[in-house]
Amino acid sequence: MATKIDKEACREAYNLVRDDTTGVNWAIFRYDGCTIVPGDQGSVYEEFVSACTDDIRLFAYVRFTTGDAMSKRVKFVLITWIGEDVGGLQRAKTSTDKTLVKEVVQNYATELLVTDHKDLALENILNALKKAGGANYDAQTE
């Protein structure tokens, strides 16, 4: 059976993360049978990481404040998590299902495919955002 997405519900979760006034910094899009639906959401990144268990696959839209001494700005990351215990067929379907998520989640600085918990470390995500951002003025000293 083909995967579907609950676009309206997922769009609401997406907009909560984008909204500067909500305090929501991440939203998960999970599978409910053959439908992608919004899952948990929160403000603490470590809570999101703990939701990434070895037996599931999910998509997440995560907000980060990045920048350097010259400026601070909000950046967004689209993360695809595929746990270690997810079967081969489900792993393969995840990449095609991501196109459904991208119909809703359209604004992000970078996207990451993550299968190992160590790759979810905050430092690794921020480094990926820094690379995607181009110029790095942190190297300058006064």
Q: What is the pLDDT along the chain (142 residues), one digit of tens a residue?
A: 799 999 999 999 999 999 999 999 999 999 999 999 999 999 999 999 999 999 999 999 999 988 767 778 899 999 999 999 999 999 999 999 999 999 999 999 999 999 999 999 999 999 998 888 765 555 554 4
> In this predicted structure, what is the pLDDT of residue 132?
82
Q: Judge if pTM exceeds 0.75.
A: yes
> In this predicted structure, what is the pLDDT of residue 142?
43
Question: How would you classify the pairing of strands 35-42 and 4-5?
Answer: parallel
> In this predicted structure, what is the pLDDT of residue 131?
85
Q: Which two tokens stand for residue 49?
A: 């990481």
Instruction: Say how far apart CA 137 and CA 70 lie, in whole Å.
Output: 7
> In this predicted structure, what is the pLDDT of residue 139?
54
Which residues, including other chains, have CB under 8 Å from residue 25's CB and lie 6 or more apart? Answer: 17, 42, 43, 44, 45, 62, 63, 64
